[in-house]
Amino acid sequence: MSEYSTFSPLHSENSAESPHTPFLMDKNNAQAPLTIPHTIALQDDVEIKKETTIIVKRGKTNIERLLLILAILILIATIIILILVVIRLPPKGNTTVTSNRKVVFIIADGISADTLESLPVPNIRKIQETGRYKRAYVGGDIGTYSQTVTISAPGYMNLITGTWGNKHNVYDNSVNNPNYNYKNIFRLVKEQQPTKTIAIFSTWITNRIRLVGEGLTSAGNLMFNYKYDGYELDLNTYPHDSNSLYIYNIDERVVNETAECIRDNGPDVSWVYLQYTDDIGHKYGDSEQMNQAVEYVDQQVGRIYEAIQYRQANHKEEWLLILTTDHGRDANTGQNHGAQTERERTTWIVTNYHDTNRYFDEYQPAIVDFMPTMMRFLKLEIPTESEKELDGVPLIGQVSLVKPQVNLSGSTLSVRWKSLDNAGNVKVWLTTTNAYKKGLTDDYKLLGTVPVTNQQAVFNITQYQSNFYKIVLEGKYNTVNKWIV
């Protein structure tokens, strides 16, 4: 028997009720604790595992917290993006992106191109140096369906609608029966973006209530946000005199109100009309008085341009200014206008916009070109049906084709044009109706599609026999049209 023997008192009187603890008996029958190294090692392993488990749990908790924080950040970023998208969305039904671009067009009545070019006019020259100057024309195509008299009201309608008299139907200053189906720039802008603001500053109240047709259902129930006009009716403040000094004073008021309104409110589209030069032209013709009147206009334009520059500098806005006249003057005396002589047809354009296109550079612009130019600057689309009737071509941006010509010989239709861009094709459309004149839609037939570089096309139109045709040439960047009557 060894020095120690194992004994387990299973039923000893002194044993506890709890599980028994083994022990050794030495040779003197004394109890000695039993050492079990393996059991202790297991206990140590358990403690280590517990500590490891705690560490793992702590690590897992930290990861979960990081993932939760990341998820919250992603959620916040998504909400911010959605808010920004909603804020930048255009109004329902409008696919045009809004911008901070604004336009002002000023008509200084009855200043011939040669008169303007002969005078110093420093403020106008300043605008010209920043942008461009070029002679333009009014009166439509001489001897054709589009010929339009070279007087004031028809000239204004040419500009604001982008069409000649055969469409807008204004042939004199009485403005008896304008055709509002050919929409003006104010209506086009408001129909696309109702929140945009429009303004008119004018001597003649007729410009607003008859040419634009403010408040008339037939003219789209259009209302100006800012209107300063009709002062010629205020005989107490502006008693009429034979030298038209009252018109000069009215023009001064109109200019002051224009500058103040632009500076304070920045309307999106503004029309400014100045009359004094035409009154002086009728009274004195080509004279020192006329020269002085033009110099007054230069000072007035300078004040308006200062207001525009203030808006550009302080409101981060882009402004297009177009300064022009509605007709020239006769070559004999300079007192008359209305005919189709070269001097009466020749006008001009001054703009602060420098980046004009090939059409502006290579051809003589027409007054009907100004409306599509302003629409393009505003980044607004002209509806397809209106564009098919448009007689003007934009002076900025890309242009596919200009100067359409049509000839009908028997059943053979020949079409020609000048190509200004090699990209894309030309779709040639034909209709024998003029329903648009009545506010309806014409039924156009596609005759064919040819490369724009061809600059011509020939079609047999036997199946479309008629005494009237509208031919539309649709290019990649613009659309032009001609009538056969």
Same domain for 123 and 199? yes
Residues 360 and 416 in one domain: no
Q: What DSSP line would sit under 341-392, residue for residue?
A: -HHHHEEEEEES---B-HHHHHS--BGGGHHHHHHHHTT-PPPHHHHTT---
Query: Which pLDDT tens digits describe the chain residue by residue (485 residues)?
Result: 444 333 343 333 444 444 444 444 444 444 444 444 444 444 555 554 555 555 545 556 677 777 888 778 888 877 877 666 554 444 433 334 446 999 999 999 999 999 999 999 999 999 999 999 999 999 999 999 999 999 999 999 999 999 999 999 999 999 999 999 999 999 999 999 999 999 999 999 999 999 999 999 999 999 999 999 999 999 999 999 999 999 999 999 999 999 999 999 999 999 999 999 999 999 999 999 999 999 999 999 999 999 999 999 999 999 999 999 999 999 999 999 999 999 999 999 999 999 999 999 999 999 999 999 999 999 999 999 999 999 999 999 999 999 999 999 999 999 999 999 999 999 999 999 999 999 999 999 999 999 999 999 999 999 999 999 999 999 999 999 999 99
Please check whether residue 285 lies inside any domain of the structure: yes
Q: Are residues 455 and 315 in the same domain?
A: no
C-alpha–C-alpha distance, residues 132 and 38, integer Å: 101
Task: Please name the residue ranges forming H helices in 103-244.
Answer: 113-118, 122-130, 152-161, 165-168, 185-192, 206
Confidence (pLDDT) at 14:
41
Residue-range definition of the domain harbouring residue 260: 100-383
> Are 284 and 373 found together in one domain?
yes
Burial class, 150, CB count within 10 angstroms (exposed 0-12 / middle 13-18 / buried 19+): buried
Domain boundary among 333, 351, 383: 383
> In one letter, which amino acid is 450?
V
Contacts of 253 (CB under 8 A, 6+ apart): 228, 231
The whole-angstrom separation of Cα 337 and Cα 150 is: 6
The answer as to whether 320 is a domain residue is yes
CATH number at residue 242: 3.40.720.10
Q: What is the pLDDT of residue 66?
A: 78
- Domain final position from 383, 414, 431: 383
| Per-residue model confidence (pLDDT) at position 45 | 54
Q: How much is the pLDDT for 54?
A: 53
Q: Are residues 368 and 412 in the same domain?
A: no
**Predicted model pTM:** 0.80
Given 383, 409, 437, the domain boundary residue is 383
Residues contacting residue 84 through CB under 8 Å, at least 6 positions apart: none
In terms of domains, do 313 and 433 share one? no
- Is residue 161 included in any domain, yes or no? yes
Place of tokens 């005759």: 447
Residues 475 and 326 in one domain: no
* Cβ–Cβ under 8 Å, residues 13 and 21: no
Q: Is residue 59 part of a domain?
A: no
Check residue 23 and give its pLDDT: 42
pLDDT at 72: 85
Instruction: Check residue 25 and give its pLDDT.
Output: 44
298 backbone dihedrals φ, ψ, rounded to 5°: -60, -45
| 300 and 364 part of one domain | yes
Residues 326 and 409 in one domain: no
Q: How many domains is the chain partitioned into structurally?
A: 2
- Would you say residue 195 lies in a domain? yes
Please give the Cα distance from 333 to 220 (Å, whole number).
42
Q: Please check whether residue 52 lies inside any domain of the structure.
A: no
Are 273 and 109 spatial neighbours (Cβ–Cβ below 8 Å)?
A: yes
The reply to whether 445 and 317 lie within a common domain is no
CA distances from 164 to 42, 295, 391, 405, 464 (A): 104, 30, 7, 17, 26
Beta bridge partners of 445: 430
The CATH number of the domain holding residue 442 is 2.60.40.730
Assigned domain for 208 exists: yes
The torsion of the CA quartet 381, 386, 388, 394, rounded to 10 degrees, works out to -50
Q: Do 239 and 329 share a domain, yes or no?
A: yes
* In a shared domain, residues 359 and 409: no
In a domain, 2, yes or no: no
**Greatest extent of the chain over all pairs of C-alpha atoms, in Å:** 154
The pLDDT assigned to 47 comes to 57
